[in-house]
Structure 1
Amino acid sequence: MPSKDKKAFPLRLDPDVHRALEKWAADEFRSVNAHIEFLLREALRKAGRLKPDRPPAAGEAEERE
């Protein structure tokens, strides 16, 4: 999805949650922002609330259960 189509908004996170996300994102070679989007897309797909309308981006091809 081109960046011009992305919706920007502020997100407040508990510092411990943010630290855990930073570490997890680094382990996956992603930015925190990209990792949050990855996790949200994965959860939305699993819940049947987001149709796979595009090929997976780099790093999304591998399903992790």
Structure 2
Amino acid sequence: MAKKKNFPLRIDPKLYDVLQTWAKDEFRSVNSHLEFLLRESAKKAGRLPKKTDQQED
């Protein structure tokens, strides 16, 4: 697995609360849920290739 990049993120507390609840509903940590949402958004925008059977995370 590739090493992950760390970076600070400032976020509105109310938005964080929404994300925290959403992540909990999906059985994910907030961090992994944010990564999931960003990856899906990047795919939809055509900025990230869609995953193939041979690719790994």
- Per the normalisation by structure 2, the TM-score is 0.85
Map of 2:47 onto structure 1: 49
Q: CA deviation at 1:5?
A: 1.7
Q: Which runs of 5+ in 1 are unaligned?
A: 58-65
Q: SS at 2:22's partner residue? A: helix
**4+ long deviations beyond 4 Å:** none
Count the aligned residue pairs: 54
What is the aligned counterpart of 1:23 among 21, 24, 44? 21
Greater gyration radius: 2
Deviations 1:8-63 (A, max 9, x none): 001011000000000000000000000000000000000000012435x6xxxxxx
The one-letter amino acid paired with 1:11 is L
